Amino acid sequence: MDPNDIQIALLDGLPLEDRKLFFDLATTRSFEDLQPIVNEGDAGDALYVIASGTVRVEKTTLDQQQEVLTSLGDGECFGELSLVDQEPRSATVRAFGGVAEVYEFSQGALDEFFDAHPNLHRKILQNVAKITAQRVRRLDETLVQSLYDSILWLDSNFVLGGWNKLTERRTIFDNAPTEDLIGCDLFDVAPQLGGGVRQTVMQVIASGEMATMALEYADANGAMAYFEITIAPHLDGAVLGFRDITDSKILESRLIQAEKLAMAGQMSAEIGHELKNYLTVLMGHAELMQMNPKLKGDARIERSLGAITEQLSKMEQFASGLMDLAMLRSKTEAAHINLLIEKLILFIQGQSRFHKVEFERDLGTDLPLLDIDPGQIQQVLINLYANAADAMGEGQIETTTRFNKDENRVSVVVVDHGPGMSEEVVMRIFDSGFTTKNTGHGFGLAICARIIENHGGTIDVISEVGVGTTFMLTFPVKAADL
C-alpha cells in the first residue's frame, strides 16, 4: 500500500517529497490476527504506523488478564512516546480482526534521519505533541466518565445540566428515564438526597470551596445504598461526584460481624477450658467419695453421689461443646492474594479511619493461587491495617507479597511506621485478652493468629519503638495450585 494514500496524523503538513523521504526509512511488516507487535515491558526502540488493518492496545491487570485500552486503525501510530522518554513499552499492541500491516521505523534510523533533517524533525515532533494531546484529552474524558460512579452538574437553582454515562446506570434517579431529567430540579427528581445535600450544595456555591459528605438511603427496592459525595463549585452552580461505597459498607459490616463471632467463639473456648478444669477437680472428688468404704452401703449417699457424677459428666460435655463451637471453620477456595489485597484496600481506603493513610503496594507478579478462606484472610488483613492506622494516625502502610519457590510458600508483609512496640508487648501481642488500647478487647490479633494457623500458615511480628511494626504472614502453596 502506498503510504501517500493514507491519512497519517504523524505527517500532517508535510509535502509529498518529505513524506517519501520519511517512509524510505520504514520496514513493512505483517502480523496475523492476535499476534503481538510489541509487548508490555519491551524496549521502546521503534515507531510504528499502521498501513492497513486494526491493532488493539492491551495492558496486563493485577489478576494477569489482558484489559483492552483502545483500538487503532489505518494511518494511526503507536510507540512514539517510547522514542521520546526512552522508557519500556507500557502496553502490548497486537493485530486484531485479521492481518495487520505496519510500517516500522527503528530508533537508529530515525536518529540519523532527524540529525540530517532538523526541520522535518521539528515538524514531526509538533505532530507527535498534537497526537499525544488528543489522546490525553480522550483519557481525561474517560477519567471524568469513570472516576466516580455518578457525576452530575447543576446551576445555582439546582437545575440539572447533565451527567456522566455511568449515572444513567446508577440508582441515584431510581431508574427514572434520564432523558426527561435535563432542566429538572435535582432534589425534585432525587428526593432521597435530602436536605443535607441541598444545604451543602448551597454552601459550596456561596463559598466557592469544595466539600465532601456521606449519604445513605433506601433505594427503590428497599435496599440500603451508601455514597460518598464530593461537591465542587462549577460555573455559577456545582458539580457533584458520587462514589458508591455500598459494597465497602457491606464488607465492613460482615468483617465486624465475623470478628464479633470469632471473639464470642474465643470467649466460649476460654470459658469451656476453665470450666473443664474446675469440673475435672469436682469429678475427681466425686469419684474418691464413691470409693470411700465409709460411705458405701448408705443408699441415700450413693444415690446423691451418682446424681452428682452424672450431672458433672453432662457439664463436662457442655464445656466440650463450647470449645468445639469456638473452632474457626474455614470455607476455602482458590484465590489470588494480590487481588484480595487490592479489593480490600479499595473498599477500606475511603473509611474515616484511613483518610490520612497512604497504602503502598509491592505485589509480586509470579504468585500462584492460594487455597484460603477469602473472608477470614480479609479479616486478618483489615485487623492489621486498622491497628496500623490507629497507631500511626497518618502515614504509609506498606504491603509486600512474594512467592518463595524453595519453601513453596507465599508471604504477605505489612509494615507501618508508627510508634512501634516494646519487646514486652511483642511477646504478648497474640495472647487472648491482651491489649494496649483503652477501648480494645484484646481478641483481634489472637483471632488472626488462629485463622492463619488454621490455614497452615505462620504469623510473626517485628517491632521497634520509634521505628514501626512489621507483620509477616506466610501461606503454604498446594502442588495443584502451582
CATH number, residue 184:
3.30.450.20
Range of the domain at 239: 150-244
232: three-class secondary structure by DSSP:
strand
Q: Do 69 and 81 fall within a single domain?
A: yes
Instruction: Give me the count of residues in the chain.
Output: 482
Domain count, the chain: 4
Last-in-domain residue among 126, 145, 164: 145
Q: How many Cα atoms are found within 13 Å in the side-chain-facing hemisphere of 141?
A: 6
Q: Do 226 and 356 fall within a single domain?
A: no
pLDDT of residue 247: 73
Q: Do 237 and 262 fall within a single domain?
A: no
Q: Do 477 and 457 fall within a single domain?
A: yes
376: three-class secondary structure by DSSP:
helix
pLDDT class of 332 with cuts at 50, 70, 90: confident
Q: Do 9 and 134 fall within a single domain?
A: yes
For cell 440539572, name the residue. Answer: 160
Inter-residue contact 39 to 107 (CB < 8 Å): no
Q: What percentage of residues in the chain have a pLDDT greater than 70?
A: 79
For cell 517519501, name the residue. Answer: 20
Q: Do 273 and 140 fall within a single domain?
A: no
Give tens-digit pLDDT for 302-311. Answer: 788 777 777 7
- The predicted model gives 14-19 an average pLDDT of 89
What amino acid occupies position 257? Q
pLDDT class of 36 with cuts at 50, 70, 90: very high
pLDDT of residue 323: 56
Q: Do 307 and 374 fall within a single domain?
A: no
CATH number at residue 366: 3.30.565.10
Last-in-domain residue among 84, 117, 145: 145
DSSP code per residue over 332-367: -EEE-HHHHHHHHHHHHTTSGGGTTEEEEEEE-SSP
Q: Do 132 and 188 fall within a single domain?
A: no
Among 77-81, 136-140, 331-335, 381-385, the minimum mean pLDDT is found in: 136-140
Give tens-digit pLDDT for 361-404. Answer: 999 988 999 999 888 898 889 889 989 998 898 999 999 999 99
Nearest to 401 by CA among 340, 462, 350: 340
Q: Does pLDDT of 353 surpass 90? A: no
pLDDT of residue 130: 85
Give tens-digit pLDDT for 206-226. Answer: 999 989 888 888 776 777 888
The C-alpha cell at 263 is 471473639
Last-in-domain residue among 270, 294, 325: 325
pLDDT of residue 204: 92
**What is the distance between the alpha carbons of residues 152 and 172, in angstroms, rounded to a whole number?**
10
Q: Do 78 and 11 fall within a single domain?
A: yes
Q: Do 96 and 203 fall within a single domain?
A: no
Q: What is the pTM of this model?
A: 0.46
Among 114-118, 154-158, 240-244, the minimum mean pLDDT is found in: 240-244
Q: Do 191 and 233 fall within a single domain?
A: yes
Among 83-92, 178-187, 324-333, 359-368, the minimum mean pLDDT is found in: 324-333
390: left (phi over 0), alpha (psi -120 to 50) or beta: alpha
**What is the distance between the alpha carbons of residues 237 and 198, in angstroms, rounded to a whole number?**
12
CATH number at residue 109: 2.60.120.10
Contacts 24+ apart (CB under 8 A), 207-213: 208/233, 209/233
Q: Do 352 and 215 fall within a single domain?
A: no
